[in-house]
Structure 1
Amino acid sequence: MGKRKAPPAVSQGPRKRVGKWFFQFPRGRLVVEAEKKKEDPPKLPPVCGEPPAWAETRTELSDAIPWFRMVQGGMHQLDKVLLGALIDSDSGPRAFMDDEIVLTTLWVIVPPSELEIANDQSGGGKQKEDGKWELTKGHGESAKGIPAARTSMATKTAVGIVIGDQNTILRRKLPHRFNILAYFRVSYIWFEKYNGTTFGRIRYDKVDLAEKSWWAAEGSGEPVPLDRRRNGRPESRQCSTCHQLSFRVYDQGWMCLQSTCRRFWKIGESDPPLDLTYNSAFLRFREDPDESLLPYSSLVPDLLSTFPNDISDYHFSPITLKGIVCPLCRKCVSRKWWNGWWCTDPSDSTASSCRFNKRLDMPPVSLRSVVPDLEIGAIKRAVGPNPKPPHQIPPDVQFSRAYLKLTYHIERVGSVTHFMANRDTLGRPNGPNDLFAQLQAANLGLRRNRLRTMAEGTLTKHFATNYGVPYKFTVDMPSNYNIRFSEAPLAVMHALGRLTWAARTVAGEDTLPNELLLVGYFETMSMGYHDDGESGLGPTVTTLSLGGRATMKVRMKREYYLGFHKSRDDLVKDDPVLVGCCKYEERIALKGEFDNRSITKEQYDQRRTEIFKTVIKPGQVKPLIEMRLQHGDFVVMHGANLQKYYEHSVETSDKLRYALTARYIKPKNEAERRAGEFQLTSDMEYNGE
């Protein structure tokens, strides 16, 4: 039976407004739509200046600013000392800010989109429908953030503050999404109650009181000179019960602000009113300047100035993956490109874009510097009897002149084959030794791409370029960075010839990839556990490793290992019960009963749940396969469900490593099909020697 044709488009009739509703009559059918009103954001007065640095995303901010390395969360601490804080979105009840001080709630200095992180950090809250917050769980002295803030105050360590343009306390228009304010000191920490819930409060005072704050209102006057200020301390009293001092914070009266005291949050014997106003003496109070009050680092560091001009030994070190602050526009810029930093994507031709860039001329890396053996490769790779841990799969071993072949068979799923290269094959023309040098000399277009599943702007730890059919699993790779095979460098095509041979050796002569992902790793870079589960992915994934060593691990995905998702009641549908999974014997016997129709689906799920309740602490899933990859090695993962049920990780240990991975991905259109077409010349074809 053919597919039914879609009905013709319905022409829309006139819309008539009745109250807040629209009535529309398309061809006799009544459609009622609620009018959606979008309130215009309030017009805020501008600030008088520009921040010393700014960022479009938190990732760029944390890449470039050492005192705020928080992609998620609102308080950054190091060695239990508070170094930086973010003010964004609703800052809680009675929050206050002016040109020199900030009073905020410890539990809510992060955007609403990061609510779970905020709850874990320092107490509990939830976002209401109006975008504001309400407390749902109190916290005491030991809550995260409070001890670090007290240590910062005791050690006289200045705290950097970032303010986002979604904050609700400054009430001025900020120039950028995230703006660095200045260095502040933690001058007071206390506790309050709101709707019966106890929470912590913190006061930050600007360190440099002589200089006018850039976030002051446009047209405002200069700050009062320090010698003309009256910095008398606000009223304080010692509690007769806990004997601790507390400032008088509110006009309505003095209260003990120690959360553990039984007289906490009382004016006399009564609860304070909900509408409290700050005491003017408390707001006016400023600490005297203190030369011993110092920050962890510069407010805006200059990473580029630390790189020597005449030495290039740092080019592949982890420090070069940090972000910089553009010296022209002051934007925080992440390291996205293999050969340096660009304030704006080079493909962006917008006239107003900042054109600053700092290019790194990546020096060539010799095999000698990344291969630790006395010679480059072994004449013959061999392995003897080596008992594996009980949770790991023993391999089948085959020898040849060019490779030692280890095949790990995963029952009912597929196989993972490790080709360990001997010296003879490494040194052949256009072989691994030549390819390692040729790739360094070629313009590969390597870049770090944005991860879809992480916070906005989060980049991969590695650099990559894709050739052939687009491959975008877990990352957003710009379309202009996907290169046809017809435009690929010769070194890539020679590698593709070798990858095609390895794939066909394992999976058969019909196997032909149409995509190649080239990944470049610096020293200590890694790729965490993941699968290659692109839509339309073929059953065979083949990788060639060049340069530095790496460790590759393969393990069962956690949900299939356990049989349930986060909750034991959230069962995995169509549980395959893989060999090596948790409670395998019990689960496979039960699955046999269900497959034989001895029990119903309801009984099967109920008994599965009973089995899973006996799993007290699942712990980490252990790898079933662990391979030490060396220069010139192949890994071939083969099996239609291998990427569905299993995941793998890679850890690199040397200065420079390339990984070239070939797959077949079903093209979505004719343009993708053409991008994946290639023709190997005779010198590109490989026969396994």
Structure 2
Amino acid sequence: MAARPIAGRPHVAGQVLKSGRVTKGKTEGNKVPSDQIEAAITDQVLEPVRAEPPAWAENCQQLCDAIPWFHCTQGAMYHSEGFCWGFLIDADGGTRTCIDEEVIITRIGGCCTKDSEGNLAPQKNQEADSTLARSIIASLKSELPVGSIFGSKHKILNGDLPHRYNIMAWFRVTNVWFERIGTNHGAKVRFEKLDLAENSWWAAKGSAPPMPLELRDFDTKPQSLKCEGCSKESIRVYEDGWMCLQPECDRFWKIGNVSSPPELTFNPAFLSFRSRSDDEIRPNCSLVPDHLSTLDEDATDISTSRGWKCSDDSTGTQTGGNVCSFERLMTMNPISRQVLLDDSEQPSMRREMVFDRKFMIPEIDDVSLSPYRKLTYKLDGVGCITHFVADAEINSRPNGPDDLFIGLQREDLGLNPFPLSILTLLIRMKSKLLNGNTQRVDTGDGKSVSGSALQDNSVLKGCRLEDECRVLKEKCKAGEISQDKYDNSRRTLFATQKGK
């Protein structure tokens, strides 16, 4: 992939912006392992950016707590009520990705799995009526601004991002189209910065400021032609030639009558065109809401549990690490026990109970342990369960349940929210055949397999294939078949039972 020109830098004569990933060029028969590619990307020299982001977070949970337009702890696109509200650009953005100070071109995501080289590729066709595609198209048609976030694992920008997750700016969706990616097709999107007059903090340090709006050309648009096959218009995205971008068309992803080449160059007109500013296109909220200023000091509702942007940039030292010194203590008013009572307004002096005769009726004893009511449920052949029922007299005793209810709210019990941890689990599947933490991998011939099988696979008694599994296991133990033959035979055996 050719170097990506940065705004404000002199352009090299003859330099073109090509599609693809920031990796070394591939040569036939000399594939670079994915771990080496990842290391090469990590070790590349990143340029400092112009400024700090308006807000940032070091983990996704903090980000989702504080930003109202992105509540997606897993995945890159936050959609709700049929619209796309926020977009995360991180790690693998897919083939033919382009990012600069004002434009983002990337895949929508979803329906992807890692191929044999460790790159994400569509596992199946992504249709226009899929949830993600419908949401991004709805934001395009409704001219709804989308908030964007940069993750530090994304290296297409070639900028040294200061934090793990960095709030970018508001963007507008200008184009959504479909491309052939491998053997399947997937959706791509072009975002354009909403405020073109504002400096982009992620631009290269020392780069020129954005061109004034009055000097920009908003009238020139890229070429758009109508397909003779489907009679639908498609924009010219690549310099190599115009293609129909409608996946249902027979001429989809063809230049003339020939399939498009694997390496494509973006159409300069598609990259450089800009949409005219429109005051009617406005976000539904602030990019970084000032949640702290709206909090009631005596509030006890759910809003106090949300995240916020810290207004203090100073740092303190605690256990050898830098931590933020800012804190704000809320006045926590204990909730009255009255909210737990019914409409009688006062605690019941005696708890009346009606027992459903369809279930067990207990023995009732109001004398032996008064004022407790003793209920005994006898279980034949097992024993009994005793339930001691309290009333208002018991609950109101000093250091009793009422005082405990208030004390639990006033005392500092050392409870703190902790980040969500990602655990690798071993799950039991229908066939008890595969590890739950094994990833699907591409074998290189277009087939996808589910990784390694369990080495110690016990035969489940009573299962549909108990006899067949037992025969295979005995042959493997006796050395009549190899471990690979045993694993393949198990996969074949269970594959024939799908849908039965």
* TM-score, normalised with respect to structure 1: 0.54
Cα shift at 1:296? 2.5
Cα shift at 1:321? 1.2
What is the rounded CA distance, in whole Å, between the counterparts of 2:312 and 2:160 in structure 1? 22
- 1:276 counterpart (264, 282, 291): 264
Cα shift at 1:376? 4.1
Cα shift at 1:409? 7.9
- 2:227 counterpart (233, 239, 242): 239
Letter in 1 for 2:168: L
CA contact (8 A) 2:61 2:420 kept: no
Letter in 2 for 1:144: T
Which residue of the partner structure matches residue 321 of structure 1?
A: 305
Which residue of the partner structure matches residue 121 of structure 2?
A: 134
Which residue of the partner structure matches residue 34 of structure 2?
A: none
Greater fraction strand: 1
What is the rounded CA distance, in whole Å, between the counterparts of 2:319 and 2:363 in structure 1? 55
- 2:432 counterpart (551, 558, 570): 570
Query: Does the C-alpha gap of structure 1 residues 102 and 395 become closer, same or farther in structure 2, counting only changes over 3 Å?
Result: farther
Cα shift at 1:104? 0.3
The question of 1:52 aligning with 2:54 is answered yes
CA contact (8 A) 2:49 2:160 kept: yes
Letter in 1 for 2:414: G
What is the rounded CA distance, in whole Å, between the counterparts of 2:381 and 2:243 in structure 1? 69
What is the rounded CA distance, in whole Å, between the counterparts of 2:404 and 2:119 in structure 1? 57
What is the rounded CA distance, in whole Å, between the counterparts of 1:244 and 1:404 in structure 2? 78
Residue 358 of structure 1 aligns to a residue in which SS? coil
Map 1:332-343 to 2 at 5 A: none
CA contact (8 A) 1:397 1:407 kept: yes
Query: Does the C-alpha gap of structure 1 residues 418 and 225 become closer, same or farther in structure 2, counting only changes over 3 Å?
Result: farther
Map 1:581-600 to 2 at 5 A: none
- 1:67 counterpart (66, 69, 84): 69
Which residue of the partner structure matches residue 182 of structure 2?
A: 195
Which residue of the partner structure matches residue 157 of structure 2?
A: 170
Which residue of the partner structure matches residue 443 of structure 1?
A: 412
- 1:223 counterpart (210, 214, 218): 210
Which residue of the partner structure matches residue 605 of structure 1?
A: 462
What is the rounded CA distance, in whole Å, between the counterparts of 2:409 and 2:281 in structure 1? 48
Letter in 2 for 1:78: S
The question of 1:380 aligning with 2:350 is answered yes
What is the rounded CA distance, in whole Å, between the counterparts of 2:384 and 2:155 in structure 1? 56
Which residue of the partner structure matches residue 394 of structure 2?
A: 425
Map 1:472-487 to 2 at 5 A: none
CA contact (8 A) 1:101 1:204 kept: yes
Q: Where does structure 2 lack aligned partners over 5 or more consecutive residues?
A: 1-37, 434-457, 468-500
CA contact (8 A) 1:377 1:426 kept: no
CA contact (8 A) 1:382 1:404 kept: no
What is the rounded CA distance, in whole Å, between the counterparts of 2:328 and 2:163 in structure 1? 23
Cα shift at 1:161? 0.6
Query: Does the C-alpha gap of structure 1 residues 367 and 102 become closer, same or farther in structure 2, counting only changes over 3 Å?
Result: same
- 2:169 counterpart (157, 160, 182): 182
What is the rounded CA distance, in whole Å, between the counterparts of 1:190 and 1:98 in structure 2? 20
Which residue of the partner structure matches residue 446 of structure 2?
A: none
Post-superposition Cα deviations, 1:539-581, rounded to whole Å, max 9, x if no partner, equal: xxxxxxxxxxxxxxxxxxxxxxxxxx7533239xxxxxxxxxx
Cα shift at 1:226? 1.2
What is the rounded CA distance, in whole Å, between the counterparts of 2:96 and 2:383 in structure 1? 61
CA contact (8 A) 1:265 1:271 kept: yes
Cα shift at 1:412? 9.5
Query: Does the C-alpha gap of structure 1 residues 200 and 405 become closer, same or farther in structure 2, counting only changes over 3 Å?
Result: farther
Letter in 2 for 1:149: I
What is the rounded CA distance, in whole Å, between the counterparts of 1:68 and 1:213 in structure 2? 20
CA contact (8 A) 1:91 1:168 kept: no
Post-superposition Cα deviations, 1:434-470, rounded to whole Å, max 9, x if no partner, equal: 2223344433333234454579xxxxxxxxxxxxxxx
Residue 221 of structure 2 aligns to a residue in which SS? coil
Cα shift at 1:417? 6.0
Query: Does the C-alpha gap of structure 1 residues 396 and 126 become closer, same or farther in structure 2, counting only changes over 3 Å?
Result: farther
Cα shift at 1:405? 4.9
Letter in 2 for 1:606: C
Letter in 2 for 1:79: E
Which residue of the partner structure matches residue 144 of structure 2?
A: 157
Residue 85 of structure 2 aligns to a residue in which SS? strand
Aligned-pair RMSD on alpha carbons?
Answer: 3.2
* Residue identity (%): 37
Q: Where does structure 1 lack aligned partners over 5 or more consecutive residues?
A: 1-36, 108-121, 331-342, 456-473, 475-564, 572-600, 611-689
Query: Does the C-alpha gap of structure 1 residues 197 and 602 become closer, same or farther in structure 2, counting only changes over 3 Å?
Result: closer
Letter in 2 for 1:201: K
Cα shift at 1:411? 9.2
CA contact (8 A) 2:94 2:106 kept: yes
What is the rounded CA distance, in whole Å, between the counterparts of 1:181 and 1:415 in structure 2? 63
Q: How many residues align?
A: 401
CA contact (8 A) 2:121 2:182 kept: no
Letter in 1 for 2:429: S
Cα shift at 1:354? 1.9
Letter in 1 for 2:45: K
Query: Does the C-alpha gap of structure 1 residues 226 and 454 become closer, same or farther in structure 2, counting only changes over 3 Å?
Result: farther
Residue 230 of structure 2 aligns to a residue in which SS? coil
Which residue of the partner structure matches residue 78 of structure 1?
A: 80
CA contact (8 A) 1:378 1:423 kept: yes
Query: Does the C-alpha gap of structure 1 residues 233 and 567 become closer, same or farther in structure 2, counting only changes over 3 Å?
Result: same
What is the rounded CA distance, in whole Å, between the counterparts of 1:295 and 1:226 in structure 2? 20
Post-superposition Cα deviations, 1:158-187, rounded to whole Å, max 9, x if no partner, equal: 000111000132111100000011000010
What is the rounded CA distance, in whole Å, between the counterparts of 2:396 and 2:230 in structure 1? 78
What is the rounded CA distance, in whole Å, between the counterparts of 2:263 and 2:138 in structure 1? 32
